[in-house]
Chains A and B, each alone.
Chain A
Amino acid sequence: MASLQDVSKVFEKGSRTVKALDGVSFTVNRGEAVGLLGPNGSGKTTTVRILLGLRKATSGRASVSAGKVGFVLDLPALYPQLTLARNLEFYADLLQVPRSAIDRRLGDVGLRGEAESRVGELSLGMKKRAEIARALLTDPDLLLLDEPTSGLDPEAQAALRAVLRAEVERGVSILMTSHDLYNVQKVCGRVLVLRHGRLVADEPAANLDPAGLEALYLHAMGRPA
């Protein structure tokens, strides 16, 4: 579905260079949900952007073999001045998806009643769910999610987890970056940890209880559990 083979990415920042990714390799298989953990600046967002073609790998190879890819960046895609329905109509047309998908996906994320609300007037949790609805419009085979739960209250996080788990049960592959160990463990079957652009852990989530996941993360960060 999605794979990185020895991918490195170097950014030029003025006179200095920053290595955002350093020889990262992993594959997200069909129907697999993978959580990508790591502190700020570890290369999570760069990984997602490389898979979406928004960044070019300095070396190595990134490929996506999924037919349809849905994604949520850590930045909004919806125009605050327009209603949720108008926004989704625009993206449905752009992605050549029947408009009937809008009502179905708004129902999936519990926002059918907000279709005629301006996006700017929605709460943060509603906006995040709206972004998920947008990403699901095409019935994607692969979902790339960058920090989908950040800034959400526990109730909104639970609603989002339910939506994502339903997609995994439907056979959708997911690569989800997060700082939130709990949400990753509840949604994903496998956990990757990035540190300073290097992949330092790759474990099945089934092997880890919440304490085990925290211990894995802290160990990967070079700190005692």
Chain B
Amino acid sequence: MIGILVRKELRLLTATSAVALVLDVLLVGLGLSAVMTLGRLQALAGVPQGGDRFALFAVLSFGLASMFLSLTGPTALLERTTGILDNQLGMVASPRPLLVAKAVVLVGLAWASLVLWTGVGVAWAAATGQEFVPAGAWGRSLLVVAVLYPAAVALLSLCHVFVGYMVPKLAPIANIGLFAVTFVLFSNLVNLSGSLSAWSRWDLAATTGVVLAVVAGLVWLMGIVSKERMADP
């Protein structure tokens, strides 16, 4: 069922927000180009190159991922205001698939964008002789791309969708909370860029574990909330 709902979301997204989607993806590419150009300028100026460009790019992408969260906004508003949501709730056993499908679309788009531009970054670095992923940090970078980033974006997306549908009046306040969560996760990633110590690896593993646990908790919660509450928040 999730697959059917995801296809519907993508179909509506292309019908309503195709331009916004393309711009969001291009903006992440712009972020990559800024990171790579900064390294090039450092080299030209004779400044010793340091830091971890991949981590910087990942943090930047994470910040820009919040743009993707707004992409299903028009569809969500339409469903709530017209009653399409009520009709669909009448067809499903629990609201979970309706909510999870929206989050899956948002995570998929943000993640695909990160993977695309990380690939471009690696190719760019290989072609120009610059360093994108530091030597010895490939495993960490792979973990960030494959697990931490999608898990963290999933957390934000699920919260965003859940609050937007269940307590829309609280959404502005909740968004501030979401921003705080984002900031903490940002900081964590920034710390990783400065150190590849054993402590940072444990920190990364613990953060990933907490995020995955909260994601699982939210998905569980979406299965038990009342349809009446969702149809009439």
Contacts and interface: CB of A to CB of B under 8 A. Distances in A.
Could you say which of A78, A86, A94 has the most chain B C-beta atoms within 10 Å of its C-beta?
A94
A75 B83 contact: yes
B8 interface: yes
B82 A75 contact: yes
B16 interface: yes
Contacts of B86: 54, 73, 75
B87 A75 contact: yes
Interface in B77-134: 78, 82-84, 86-92
Contacts of B4: 90, 93-94
A54 B231 contact: yes
Nearest to A86: B11
B12 interface: yes
Given A54-B228, A73-B83, A74-B83, 14 more contacts: A53-B90, A53-B227, A54-B89, A54-B231, A71-B87, A71-B90, A73-B87, A75-B83, A77-B83, A81-B12, A82-B15, A90-B4, A90-B11, A94-B1
A73 B232 CA distance: 15
A179 interface: no
A74 B87 CA distance: 10
B166 interface: no
Contacts, number: 60
Interface string A56-72: 10000000000000010
Secondary structure type dominating chain A contacts:
loop
A79 interface: yes
B27 interface: no
Contact of B8 (A56, A77, A90): A90
Contacts of B228: 54-56
A178 B92 CA distance: 26
Contact of B15 (A71, A81, A95): A81
Interface of A: 49, 52-56, 71, 73-82, 86, 90-91, 93-95
26 contacts: A49-B231, A52-B90, A53-B90, A54-B90, A54-B227, A54-B231, A55-B228, A55-B231, A56-B228, A73-B83, A74-B83, A75-B83, A77-B88, A78-B84, A79-B78, A79-B84, A81-B16, A82-B12, A82-B15, A90-B4, A90-B7, A90-B8, A93-B4, A94-B5, A94-B88, A94-B91
A212 to B, nearest CB: 34
B90 A73 contact: yes
Given A82-B15, A94-B5, A56 B226 contact: yes
A80 B12 CA distance: 10
A1 B95 CA distance: 25
A71 B91 CA distance: 9
Nearest to A50: B228
Contacts of B1: 94
Could you say which of A56, A77, A90, A91 has the most chain B C-beta atoms within 10 Å of its C-beta?
A77
A3 B90 CA distance: 17
Contact of B83 (A76, A90, A91, A95): A76
Could you say which of B7, B8, B92 has the most chain A C-beta atoms within 10 Å of its C-beta?
B8
A189 B87 CA distance: 27
Contacts of A76: 82-84, 87
Nearest to B93: A53
A216 to B, nearest CB: 31
Contacts of B8: 90
A77 B11 contact: no
Contacts of A55: 228, 231
A56 B11 CA distance: 33
B156 to A, nearest CB: 26
Nearest to A87: B8
A24 to B, nearest CB: 18
Nearest to B88: A77
A56 B225 CA distance: 13
Nearest to B89: A54
B80 to A, nearest CB: 11
Contacts of B84: 75-79
List the 5 closest A-B pairs by CB distance, nearest first: A75-B83, A77-B87, A81-B15, A52-B90, A93-B4
Contacts of A77: 83-84, 87-88
